[in-house]
């Protein structure tokens, strides 16, 4: 029987977060790709294997799920350094973009070659089977796009070939998914709030409360209404607004005012959220504040996000608390808190550990897919037991 490895992958609009196996492996990759040539030039090619793998992911991807098949890409940090890099555009559907699949396949292939879970053949080909837990925005799930997304992943072999990549150059990974579960992101956040990694309930007081979860991502905002331990599909709402456009506006203003070109939106997030020298950049070797730029743009976005919260809360007046999650919440936390104190005074909660908020979806998918595997194993064991009992009775 082919062994299957657990993968829980959150392809966020800003970055991919992924857990593998028994949580012994995880990756964080900026969600940026760039088309490239097969033999990309590398300074110091003889030292390639000494370079950081995550900074030099260079692959060819072959999959029937892709519109542009068999193309070569730089992925993640390496892609941010090019002039032709692409990030997901506002208004796009995550489930319909090649970029989502390329990021997913790249992370899974990287785990397959680095974890030692699968033995390569003499031809450096790795046959890898995974049980995948992932998710889509509530809006896309409500539109039924999760069905097509799941079917794209199941039933086909997806191949990733590592080209000019440290340690893994010349290796090919054939990826098969024996099961794919696609969860609505709002419900996943709820699961993460109430369960630990061993699926034990840790927040009993939340189980029977009506709560809101506002997930602010790069391209979208989802507000899940949780009641009776489930997402209320009729009340849940998704909006085509995230932090991406505001990050691009900040990036453009910095270019216009200071003549500084930032590589990607990831650089803007770093400027806004880092612990030291926040809202500062280097201009001609001098540390320079860009707080006037970041402040007014982020405040305007926070006002829009707060308006969403107010409208949803009015329609769900018996809600007891709203949790803000996602990378966008980490960026807007201070602005949303200030607006709430000044205006409605809703019972809202943020995660002081920004890392916890950013990794929330990937961790939730891990818990959900682990629970699915446990229940499936139990059901299969019961069926086998019944079959044995039935044959004995005959």
The enclosing H or E element of 147 equals helix 145-153
Alpha-carbon gap, residue 27 to 63, rounded angstroms: 22
Structure tokens at 362: 């990937």
Cβ pair 253, 233 in contact under 8 A? no
Quote the pLDDT of residue 45.
Answer: 55
pTM: predicted TM-score of the whole model, two decimal places: 0.85
Angle ∠(138,274,268) on CA atoms, nearest 5:
65
Quote the pLDDT of residue 392.
Answer: 66
CATH classification for the domain delimited by 188-242+299-358, as one of 1.10.3720.10, 3.30.420.40, 3.10.20.30, 3.40.50.720: 3.30.420.40
Helices marked H in 30-129: 77-80, 98-114
Second CATH level (architecture) for the domain 5-185 = 2-Layer Sandwich (3.30)
Tally of CB atoms within 10 A around 360? 26
Q: Tens digit of pLDDT for each residue in 3-47?
A: 899 999 999 888 899 999 999 999 999 999 999 988 887 766 557
Quote the pLDDT of residue 394.
Answer: 60
- Length reported for the chain: 394
Alpha-carbon gap, residue 213 to 309, rounded angstroms: 10
Residue 241's alpha-carbon distances to 133, 187, 208, 298, 340, in angstroms, are: 25, 19, 30, 13, 19
What are the domain boundaries of the chain?
5-185, 188-242+299-358, 244-293
Exposed, middle or buried by CB within 10 Å (0-12, 13-18, 19+), for 337?
middle
Cβ pair 76, 57 in contact under 8 A? yes
Helices marked H in 208-290: 244-258, 265-273
Quote the pLDDT of residue 84.
Answer: 85
Q: DSSP strand E in the chain: where?
A: 5-11, 15-20, 25-30, 33-35, 57-62, 71-75, 125-136, 158-162, 172-184, 211-216, 221-227, 230-231, 237-239, 280-283, 286-289, 321-325, 348-349
List, for the chain, all residue ranges whose pLDDT scores fall below the cut of 70.
1-2, 43-46, 90-91, 352, 390-394
Quote the pLDDT of residue 259.
Answer: 94
Structure tokens at 1: 């029987």
The enclosing H or E element of 294 equals helix 291-315
């Amino acid at each position: 029987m082919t062994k299957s490895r657990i993968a829980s992958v959150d392809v966020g609009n800003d970055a991919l977060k992924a857990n593998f196996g028994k949580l012994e492996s995880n990756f964080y990759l900026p969600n940026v790709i760039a088309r490239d040539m097969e033999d990309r030039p590398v300074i110091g090619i003889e030292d390639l294997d000494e370079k950081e793998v995550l900074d030099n992911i260079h692959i060819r991807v072959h999959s029937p799920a892709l519109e542009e098949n068999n193309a070569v890409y730089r992925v993640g940090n390496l892609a941010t350094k090019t002039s032709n890099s692409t990030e997901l555009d506002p208004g796009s559907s995550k489930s319909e973009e090649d970029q989502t699949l390329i990021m997913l396949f790249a992370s899974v292939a990287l785990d397959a070659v680095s974890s030692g879970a699968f033995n390569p053949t003499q031809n450096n080909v790795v046959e890898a089977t995974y049980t995948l837990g992932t998710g889509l925005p509530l809006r896309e799930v409500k539109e039924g796009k999760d069905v097509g997304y799941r079917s794209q992943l199941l039933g086909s072999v997806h191949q990733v070939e590592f080209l000019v990549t440290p340690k893994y150059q010349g290796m090919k990974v054939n990826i098969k998914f024996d099961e794919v579960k696609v969860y609505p992101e709002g419900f996943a956040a709820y699961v993460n709030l109430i369960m630990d990694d061993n699926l034990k309930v840790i927040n009993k007081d939340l189980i029977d409360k009506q709560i809101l979860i506002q997930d602010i991502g790069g391209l979208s905002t989802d507000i899940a209404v949780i009641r009776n331990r489930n997402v209320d599909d009729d009340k849940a709402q998704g909006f085509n607004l995230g932090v991406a456009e505001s990050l691009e506006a900040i990036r453009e203003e910095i270019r216009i005012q200071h003549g500084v070109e930032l590589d990607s939106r990831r650089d803007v997030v770093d400027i806004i959220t880092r612990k030291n020298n926040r809202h500062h950049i280097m201009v001609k070797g001098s540390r320079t504040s860009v707080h006037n730029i970041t402040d007014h743009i982020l405040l305007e976005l926070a006002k829009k996000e707060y308006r969403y919260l107010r409208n949803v809360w009015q329609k769900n007046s018996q809600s007891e608390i709203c949790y803000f999650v996602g990378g966008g919440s980490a960026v807007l936390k201070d602005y949303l808190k200030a607006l709430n104190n000044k205006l409605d005074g809703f019972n809202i909660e943020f995660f002081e550990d920004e890392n916890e908020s950013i990794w929330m979806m990937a961790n939730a998918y891990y818990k959900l897919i682990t629970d699915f595997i446990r229940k499936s194993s139990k059901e299969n064991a019961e069926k086998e037991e019944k079959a044995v009992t039935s044959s004995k009775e005959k």
